[in-house]
Chain A
């Protein structure tokens, strides 16, 4: 005797179950596709910029690049300036961004922590794709080296920068200064390289540490700055700000962006955009280019995995 669960009913049930599975599967697929398109930024690709100079100038300089890349990849690409260096990584992690032009420190953090992919970096008008960190003072400050810095006020950019903090930390440690709070009368973080320059110029701090590129831009804009400031230490060369993209962005988009950047100098329209960025061209960037950072981090006595940069 067959019960209500007999083979006949079971066959009907199996059919019903299969139908349910198919419907559930289709819904799941639809949800997956929907979120995939959101995650891949099909409507818009959002790229972060670290606040290394005045944010208004920075946005203005990058606007032509956004328009150029949008046209090349067929998707709107937009830049946004992050309020703080530490935020760049947080935003990247929370997937609100598809990529970012990272500075040296945040580049390494992006590779170490979230396995982001380095794409390309600009070559400046002097033909260099590298930057340095400068430690500088006002010429009339009487500060010539670390010995004269005792009791003075120092301005850094942010804990999450190599050129605006970590190199200075390594330099000071090499000079036997590890307790900064005891050595300096005031320690401040200005939030941008540009602000650090003006903080020292105005006399709001005695010593500053800054990225070479921003220092040179400030002098080009106002040559009298060169008469007022003196560089007392320079770091090794680090790669210039590098574009990183999330590895879960479609390979096609990543390749399109890389190709568009690397080929800009051979395209008349791209060459115009490069002018606004004060760059000759973009070059491909690899993980190995960041090795000088690890040497500085070691001298600064920081362990990347545990370093509190926020």
Chain B
């Protein structure tokens, strides 16, 4: 009979412990690839992506294993990018923004999907068995309230993109709320950012509000130019350093980048996406742009400024 003495047994146990403890790192060390869809290469998504890559780097995941795609934020480009990453057979697809997430979900791939900055009201469409991620909630009424605190608004211009689902929902919500305040809304549907000057030309507005549309934010320089000409304030739902918007209410992109990376790491360790908790972004920033307001000759009401989490000076 084959007998194992105590010494051999403890040696074997030790080897097994070492082997099992190495399993996740073996999995992470393998040549997995991560596909990232970053629509429009917006500053907001760039900041989110920097935090994402930083977190991955801390886990020893190299940048060369991350394929970043920056399609134009419109349906066809997003779908093509999703198909390209699926064809490349990446191990996980990371999508920034609800339209990018939807473009991957609509392809009905089995590749795990991690989304970030996905507008929560669209979750019923984004939710899939192979997906997890970070959702965002935006208080449209608050942004409208802060904007109304800056100036008297009779007509509000709202820039949205009819092809970006989150932007459309936000636009509808703004129309509903503005009605309660007796504010008339002029919707500006931008499907290409180059259309901004033409579509905004001739409008008599008291303020402009930019929905979370990527196209609207690509058009920010043209929109800001018009706002300066007409001396009207801009409110925005997308955060970026040195924004032209006088008031911005947005979720912090860095927090989402970190959380998205954590979920990707879990997936690469073998945890199924549907077993990873969907989270809501917690850090919401309220930014007032003192610099922009001063250059336009406005005084920001102190009772609004005291609520700010950040001031651009």
Contacts and interface: CB of A to CB of B under 8 A. Distances in A.
Contact of A195 (B141, B249, B302, B306): B306
A6 B121 CA distance: 105
Given A56-B302, A203-B137, A195 B307 contact: yes
B142 A55 contact: no
A57 B141 CA distance: 22
Contacts of B284: 202-204
B307 A153 contact: no
A198 B142 contact: yes
Interface string B277-293: 00000101010000000
B141 to A, nearest CB: 6
A224 interface: yes
A172 B302 CA distance: 34
A115 B127 CA distance: 61
Nearest to A198: B307
Interface string A49-60: 000001111000
A140 B282 CA distance: 15
Interface string A35-67: 000000000000000000011110000000000
B309 interface: yes
A192 to B, nearest CB: 8
A224 B145 CA distance: 10
Interface residues of A, number: 19
B282 A153 contact: yes
Contacts of A9: none
B285 to A, nearest CB: 8
Interface string A133-150: 000001010000000000
A56 B301 CA distance: 10
B180 A224 contact: yes
A224 B142 contact: no
Contacts of B309: 204
Contacts of A87: none
Most buried by A among B138, B181, B249, B284: B284
Contacts of A224: 141, 145, 177, 180-181
A2 interface: no
Interface in A158-212: 185-186, 195, 198-199, 201-204
A206 B259 CA distance: 19
A222 interface: yes
A52 to B, nearest CB: 13
A252 B284 CA distance: 52
Nearest to B120: A140
A54 B303 CA distance: 6
A228 B141 contact: yes
Contacts of A202: 139, 142, 249, 284, 286, 307
Contact of A185 (B139, B177, B282, B307): B282
A186 B302 CA distance: 27
Given A54-B303, A186-B282, A203 B177 contact: no
A228 B145 CA distance: 13
A202 B284 CA distance: 8
A197 B309 CA distance: 15
Interface string B250-288: 000000000000000000000000000000001010100
Interface string B142-153: 100100000000
Contacts of A185: 282
Contacts of A153: 282
B119 to A, nearest CB: 13
Interface of B: 137-139, 141-142, 145, 177, 180-181, 249, 282, 284, 286, 302-303, 306-307, 309
Q: Which 4 A-B pairs have the closest CB atoms?
A: A54-B303, A202-B142, A204-B284, A203-B139
13 contacts: A54-B303, A56-B303, A56-B306, A57-B303, A153-B282, A195-B306, A199-B307, A201-B139, A202-B139, A203-B137, A222-B145, A224-B145, A224-B181
Given A198-B307, A201-B145, A203-B137, 14 more contacts: A54-B306, A56-B306, A138-B139, A140-B137, A195-B306, A201-B141, A202-B139, A202-B142, A202-B284, A202-B286, A203-B142, A204-B286, A228-B139, A228-B141
